[in-house]
Structure 1
Amino acid sequence: MILLPSWWVPPALLAAVLLLDVALSIRPLGFIRMCLHGVRFPEEWWWILLVVKVLAAGGLIAGIWVPGIAFAANSGVIAYFLCASAAHIRAKATGAAFRVNCLGMLALSCVTLVSSFL
């Protein structure tokens, strides 16, 4: 198994997208607020999602130089968006926000893992 990404751009791009998501979620925009309310995620826990995404972005960046870290962080991001997808499906909140945000990020995370480590 390759423990360093074959090219640094995909993990850096995923990290940048995650950090952009964090920036947009500090004071959630309407579509983010609607998404979180759609799955009935308690507002007092929203900050945890920001911490998880910042840590994942940090792991993706550190993993460009430290063997295994980017792979673990990327795998964690995939697990995060699989859980988010399950929450959306369970709550029957499968509208445009689910397809664009959740499934889009899941696809980007999977493409990043495949293109960087296989």
Structure 2
Amino acid sequence: MTLTADPWWPQAVLAAVLAGDAALSVRPPAFIRACLHGVGFPEDWWWSLIAVKLLAAAGLVAGIQAAGVGAAANAGVVCYFLAASYAHIRARFLKTEFWVNCLGMLALSLGALVVSYAPGI
């Protein structure tokens, strides 16, 4: 596994999607609210998800130039969405938000990790 993103564009796409997700989460639309309520995540802590997503996006962008940073950030994003998937399964909240949003983001983050970092294997 190489520690430099090659190609770099999947990291940029994932960073843009995470930044957009964070921006949407400032005033969450119905599908985000349903998702967070469905897994029982307290509203008082919703701000923390915005911070995590923005920091992850920044790490992905920084990692395009800084070897190792992007791989670590991308692995962290994968872990974040694995934890979110577990929360959905545990809460038995397996509606459209789980299949499209949660698993979709997990697939995107896994895809970015494999495309950008696995070719060197």
Aligned equivalents of 2:91, 2:50: Cα separation in 1:
22
Match of 2:15 in 1: 15
Q: Percent identity at matched positions?
A: 60
Partner of 1:102: 102
Normalized against structure 2, the TM-score is what?
A: 0.96
Equivalent residue for 2:57?
57
Gaps of 5+ in 1: none
CA RMSD of superposed structures (Å)? 0.5
In structure 1, distance between residues paired with 2:73 and 2:29: 26
The residue that corresponds to 1:76 in the other structure is: 76
Structure 1 residue aligned with 2:47:
47
Q: Deviations over 1:35-59 (max 9, x none)?
A: 0000000000000000000000000
Q: Please tell me whether residue 88 in structure 1 is matched to residue 85 in structure 2.
A: no
Residue 8 of structure 1 and its aligned partner are, at CA, apart by: 1.2
CA distance in 2, matches of 1:74, 1:25: 20
| Separation of aligned partners in 2, 1:112 and 1:34 | 27
- TM-score under structure 1 normalisation? 0.99
Paired residue total: 118
| Whole-angstrom distance in 2 between the partners of 1:87 and 1:37 | 11
